Structure 1
Amino acid sequence: MTQDLLFAFILFAFVSSITPGPNNLMLMASGANFGFARSIPHMLGIGIGFVVMILLVGFGLIQVFDAFPVAHTLLKVVSVAYLLWLALKIARAGAPRGAQEDGTPITFVQAALFQWVNPKAWTMALTAITLYAPDRSLWAIGLVAAVFGAINLPCVSSWTVLGQQMRRLLTSPTRLRLFNWSMAALLVASLYPVVMPAVAG
């Protein structure tokens, strides 16, 4: 990978990691409902889980989509259904104080496994491998995974911090309910790029 290509990839990794998507919106909701400390396993699960995903996709899973395009369609259907369920769960989340005592934030394993049904994660992984590791060599795929590992975790964690800061504004049940429903609506809206091409097709 040339220096110019590496710079372009770093920019791609940063923009795709910091912009809104299912991971970031869920972390923002987690920060608001559970705080930063209780959301750490969620953040680590995303960061490490996505790196593992890139490695596995780069070292073979991408060939499944090349050979069986229907697998990509099936993945979209499962992903959309799961994200709609998560949006409903976020919308029904309780107050911050109650969440601290009784709520259950997403675990490390759940967050890592979530990457496999996250449309944005699949798009990021497939695009990164296709454009920045076209030869699919061990070195190229390892570099893509390493760069994303260094950039993705701090980016997604910033959304948790943002959510935690918003806890000060969510002291009333009405405000919290509005926030959670807004996050749920945005999560559903993030599916637009996935659903509309399929509908148009």
Structure 2
Amino acid sequence: MTLELLLAFVAFAFVTSVTPGPNNMMLLASGVNFGLRRSVPHMLGISLGFMVLVMCVGFGLGQVFEQVPALYTVLRYVGAAYLLYLAWKIAGSGAPDSTAGERGKPFTFLQAAAFQWVNPKAWVMAIGAITTYTPQENFLVNVLLIAGLFALVNCPSVGLWTVAGSLLRNWLRNPRVLRAFNIGMAVMLVASLYPIFADMKGIV
């Protein structure tokens, strides 16, 4: 892998990681509702779970989707259904110090890692990284390099959204304001599905 290709990939990894999407909307809401410290396992689960996804795509899972396109379509719709469920849960979250908030729990490491497998944006990012930035020469080594670098870039990028949420925490103590914020996050989470599914309908 050349230095130019490596730098281009790092830029790709940063932009795709830091821009709004299901993971970042959920981390922003988690930062508000549970704070930075309790959201760290969620952040790590996203980065390491995505790293495993990239490796699996590089080691052959992407070829399975090429041979059976319907499987990829089914996975996208399953992911969309799960995201709608998560949006509903976020919309119903309580204030940080309320009884409802105490009952709520942030994503665990394993839950966040498993979520990457039904996250449509994660699949688009993983397939794009392998097909565009992974040279065929020494392919397996390059897959490991791409997956590892993606995780290193991804964690602080998504962490910015958690920090932003935790900073907003003190301004959202009013249950009504927090309720409005959580509903807004739920709407944005649903809206984040549009660019991913638009191409399936021939819009893009």
TM-score of the superposed pair, with normalisation by structure 2: 0.95
Aligned partner of residue 110 in structure 1, secondary structure: helix
**Residues of 1 paired with 2:32 and 2:56: CA distance?**
33
Aligned partner of residue 96 in structure 1, secondary structure: coil
5+ long unaligned stretches in structure 1? none
- Aligned match of 1:110: 111
**Residues of 2 paired with 1:48 and 1:101: CA distance?**
27
**Residues of 2 paired with 1:127 and 1:33: CA distance?**
33
* Aligned-partner residue type, residue 68 of structure 1: V
Question: Across the two proteins, how many residue pairs are aligned to each other?
Answer: 201
Is 1:22 matched with 2:22?
Answer: yes
**Residues of 2 paired with 1:178 and 1:199: CA distance?**
32
How far does residue 30 in structure 1 lie from its aligned partner after superposition? 0.3
Q: Report if the CA contact (8 A) 2:94-2:101 is conserved.
A: no
Pick which of 139-148 and 107-116 moved more: 139-148
TM-score of the superposed pair, with normalisation by structure 1: 0.96
Alignment of 1:34-53 (within 5 A): 34-53=34-53
How far does residue 193 in structure 1 lie from its aligned partner after superposition? 1.1
**Residues of 1 paired with 2:5 and 2:142: CA distance?**
12
**Residues of 1 paired with 2:123 and 2:162: CA distance?**
22
Identical aligned residues as a percent: 56
**Residues of 2 paired with 1:58 and 1:161: CA distance?**
32
Is 1:125 matched with 2:126?
Answer: yes
Pick which of 37-46 and 191-200 moved more: 191-200
How far does residue 133 in structure 1 lie from its aligned partner after superposition? 1.2
Give the CA RMSD over aligned residues. Answer: 1.3
Q: Report if the CA contact (8 A) 1:132-1:140 is conserved.
A: no
- Aligned match of 1:180: 182
- Aligned match of 2:7: 7
Pick which of 189-198 and 11-20 moved more: 189-198
- Aligned match of 2:154: 152
**Residues of 1 paired with 2:117 and 2:13: CA distance?**
18
Q: Report if the CA contact (8 A) 2:50-2:122 is conserved.
A: yes
How far does residue 134 in structure 1 lie from its aligned partner after superposition? 4.5
Q: Report if the CA contact (8 A) 1:76-1:119 is conserved.
A: yes
Is 1:85 matched with 2:93?
Answer: no
Q: Report if the CA contact (8 A) 2:31-2:162 is conserved.
A: yes
Q: Report if the CA contact (8 A) 1:32-1:165 is conserved.
A: yes
Pick which of 112-121 and 92-101 moved more: 92-101
How far does residue 92 in structure 1 lie from its aligned partner after superposition? 0.4
**Residues of 2 paired with 1:198 and 1:80: CA distance?**
13
- Aligned match of 2:97: 97
How far does residue 35 in structure 1 lie from its aligned partner after superposition? 0.5
**Residues of 2 paired with 1:75 and 1:101: CA distance?**
33
- Aligned match of 1:199: 201
Aligned partner of residue 196 in structure 2, secondary structure: helix
5+ long unaligned stretches in structure 2? none
How far does residue 147 in structure 1 lie from its aligned partner after superposition? 1.0
How far does residue 195 in structure 1 lie from its aligned partner after superposition? 2.4
* Aligned-partner residue type, residue 95 of structure 2: A
* Aligned-partner residue type, residue 74 of structure 2: L
